[in-house]
């Protein structure tokens, strides 16, 4: 959410930012907010004047009573009472205006970083860099679930009977590989100085609206019927929510945390889920990383975060590339974002396996995450990034490590987590 002072003083810049995100239908919201803000401040001004008048009149009443001027004192009391009634009206109106203003402000996109390329959607994202040499072997790479089924590692039919499309049973060595990747990613991030955390897997609505836009919430979140609780779509939600309404000492920053969680997503608008594939599903597990830091340090942490994911995939011999997300592909709270994509030998192209985002002070403003600095209090910056998210990561892993005989090579870094196994076959 944008700072109201910035919007008030730079309305044209905010409108230009909306245009860069190709959300012209939101342009009138800027003028609506400015008008509501003016009305709110007018109410505040009148209320402050009435409070000052009430205090002065209250002092007069005591003086008049001492002088025996009871009639004048009663008249002054009546004025104080009238002021109190008007003050109550103003406070109610101000509260109503603030509520309307906040609701509109939460629909206005965050100001994006000047370095973000302008584009309408993900087709206009810009490749930044490639890591590793993409290879297409001289034998056919089967579809990922075919590889798993040949290794007796997945049961989609049973999952459909139990829960419907978008779920799966992982079995045997594939299930073990899944857990090995998560455990390796955990230790990888701990070795890089991050604190390991297992967070709540449900969060309240005030946290949900603090960490994401309404559009994202509607498309992703599962609501727990009859309770003010939502299943998390990623542990970033509860990890950032950990700091809600907190004033943190500046000397404790940055907070660098890596978290494990299951994730639950409706995948609304995904035009149906694959019958056989596990690329887009309702439930999966993920290792995440988040940072809460000083504003001036967030660009540095942004580069460190996506590099962590690149290094993790390269350690498992999986070629990857980074894509700079264009303006139209950025969620409304994001200042800047990079996708990490893994190479698919079967499709002969890259596909997304993680996303790194700098949200500036957007989440901190909504959640009231403040820093107590030597020069006063200010809003923190928050960032998040996927360390690894099976099963998408498993798709990349299986395709890039499949051997001609149908076995799957286990990279050296994963072997301690697989009981020393060098391959699955």
Q: Of 44, 78, 105, which residue constitutes the final position of a domain?
A: 105
Domain for residue 116, yes or no?
no
Question: Each residue of 83-111: pLDDT tens digit?
Answer: 788 888 888 999 999 999 999 999 999 99
Q: Dihedrals φ, ψ of 337, to 5°?
A: -150, 145
Asked whether residue 196 falls in the same domain as residue 271, the answer is yes
Asked whether residue 166 falls in the same domain as residue 85, the answer is no
Q: How many CB atoms lie within 10 A of CB 255?
A: 17
Q: Does 364 score more than 60 pLDDT?
A: yes
Asked whether residue 101 falls in the same domain as residue 126, the answer is no
Q: Of 105, 138, 161, which residue constitutes the final position of a domain?
A: 105
Asked whether residue 45 falls in the same domain as residue 72, the answer is yes
pLDDT at 52: 79
Q: Does 66 score more than 70 pLDDT?
A: no
Domain for residue 408, yes or no?
yes
Whether residue 254 has a cis bond before it, omega within 30° of 0: yes
Asked whether residue 137 falls in the same domain as residue 66, the answer is no
Asked whether residue 382 falls in the same domain as residue 340, the answer is yes
d(CA 409, CA 174): 12
Residue 73: which pLDDT band, with cuts at 50, 70 and 90?
low
Domain for residue 274, yes or no?
yes
Spatial contact of 149 and 277, defined as CB atoms under 8 Å apart = no
Mean pLDDT of the chain: 92
Q: Does 267 score more than 90 pLDDT?
A: no
pLDDT at 339: 97
Asked whether residue 91 falls in the same domain as residue 127, the answer is no
Look up the CATH number of the domain holding residue 101. Answer: 1.10.287.40
Q: Does 270 score more than 60 pLDDT?
A: no
pLDDT at 85: 80
Q: Does 336 score more than 90 pLDDT?
A: yes
What value does the mean pLDDT take over residues 132-144? 95
Asked whether residue 250 falls in the same domain as residue 397, the answer is yes
Asked whether residue 315 falls in the same domain as residue 364, the answer is yes
Query: What is the tally of structural domains in the chain?
Result: 2
Q: Does 272 score more than 90 pLDDT?
A: no
Look up the CATH number of the domain holding residue 150. Answer: 3.30.930.10
Nearest in space to 295 (alpha carbons), one of 144, 164, 111? 111
Asked whether residue 69 falls in the same domain as residue 197, the answer is no
Three-state SS annotation for 21-74: CCCHHHHHHHHHHHHHHHHHHHHHHHHHHHHHHHHHHHHHHHHHHHCCCHHHHH
What value does the mean pLDDT take over residues 220-246? 95
What value does the mean pLDDT take over residues 252-274? 82
Q: Does 271 score more than 60 pLDDT?
A: no
Asked whether residue 45 falls in the same domain as residue 128, the answer is no
More confident residue, 56 or 348: 348
Question: Each residue of 380-419: pLDDT tens digit?
Answer: 999 999 999 988 999 999 999 999 999 999 999 999 999 9
Domain for residue 115, yes or no?
no
Q: Of 105, 135, 155, which residue constitutes the final position of a domain?
A: 105
d(CA 232, CA 411): 31
Spatial contact of 414 and 311, defined as CB atoms under 8 Å apart = no
Take residue 358 and report the two structure tokens written for it.
Answer: 């700098």
DSSP secondary-structure letter at 402?
Answer: B
Domain for residue 113, yes or no?
no
Q: What is the pTM for the complete model shown? A: 0.89
Asked whether residue 408 falls in the same domain as residue 352, the answer is yes
Domain for residue 46, yes or no?
yes
pLDDT at 33: 96
Residue 200: which pLDDT band, with cuts at 50, 70 and 90?
very high
More confident residue, 202 or 89: 202
Q: Does 275 score more than 60 pLDDT?
A: no
pLDDT at 197: 97
DSSP secondary-structure letter at 425?
Answer: -
Q: Does 324 score more than 90 pLDDT?
A: yes
Domain for residue 199, yes or no?
yes
Residue 251: which pLDDT band, with cuts at 50, 70 and 90?
very high
Domain for residue 342, yes or no?
yes
Range of the domain at 15: 4-105
Nearest in space to 168 (alpha carbons), one of 401, 391, 393, 413? 391
């Amino acid at each position: 959410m944008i700072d109201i002072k910035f919007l008030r003083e730079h309305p044209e810049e905010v409108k230009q930012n909306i245009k860069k995100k190709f959300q012209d239908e939101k342009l009138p919201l800027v003028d609506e907010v400015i008008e509501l803000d003016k009305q709110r401040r007018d109410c505040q001004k009148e209320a402050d004047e009435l409070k000052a008048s009430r205090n002065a009149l209250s002092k007069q009443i005591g003086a008049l009573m001492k002088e025996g001027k009871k009639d004048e004192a009663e008249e002054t009391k009546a004025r104080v009472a009238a002021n109190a009634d008007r003050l109550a009206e103003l406070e109610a109106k101000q509260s109503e205006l603030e509520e309307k203003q906040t609701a509109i402000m939460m629909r206005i996109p965050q100001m994006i970083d000047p370095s973000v390329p302008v584009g309408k959607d993900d087709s206009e994202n810009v490749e930044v860099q490639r890591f590793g040499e993409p290879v297409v072997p001289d034998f056919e790479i089967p579809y990922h679930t075919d590889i798993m089924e040949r290794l007796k590692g997945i049961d989609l039919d049973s999952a459909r009977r139990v829960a419907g499309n978008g779920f799966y049973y992982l079995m045997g060595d594939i299930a073990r590989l899944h857990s090995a990747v998560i455990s390796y990613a955990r230790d990888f991030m701990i070795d890089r100085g991050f604190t390991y955390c297992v967070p709540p897997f449900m969060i309240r609505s005030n946290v949900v609206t603090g960490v994401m836009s309404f559009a994202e919430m509607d498309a992703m979140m599962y609501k727990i019927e009859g309770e003010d609780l939502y299943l998390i779509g990623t542990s970033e939600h509860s990890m950032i929510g950990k700091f809600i309404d907190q004033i943190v000492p500046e000397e404790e920053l940055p907070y660098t945390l890596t978290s494990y969680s299951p994730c639950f997503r409706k995948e609304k608008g995904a035009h149906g889920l694959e019958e056989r594939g596990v690329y887009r599903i309702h439930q999966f597990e993920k290792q995440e990383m988040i940072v809460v830091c000083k504003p001036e340090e967030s660009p540095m942490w942004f580069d460190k975060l996506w590099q962590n994911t690149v290094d993790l995939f390269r350690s498992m011999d999986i070629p990857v590339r980074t894509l700079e997300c264009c303006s139209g592909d950025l969620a409304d709270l994001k200042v800047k974002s990079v996708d990490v994509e893994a190479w698919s030998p079967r499709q002969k192209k890259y596909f997304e396996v993680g996303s790194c985002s700098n949200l500036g002070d957007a989440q901190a403003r909504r959640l009231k995450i403040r820093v107590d600095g030597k020069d006063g209090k200010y809003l923190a910056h928050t960032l998040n990034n996927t360390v690894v998210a099976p099963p998408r990561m498993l798709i990349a892993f299986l395709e890039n490590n499949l051997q001609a005989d149908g076995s799957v090579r286990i990279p050296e870094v994963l072997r301690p987590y697989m009981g020393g196994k060098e391959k699955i076959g």
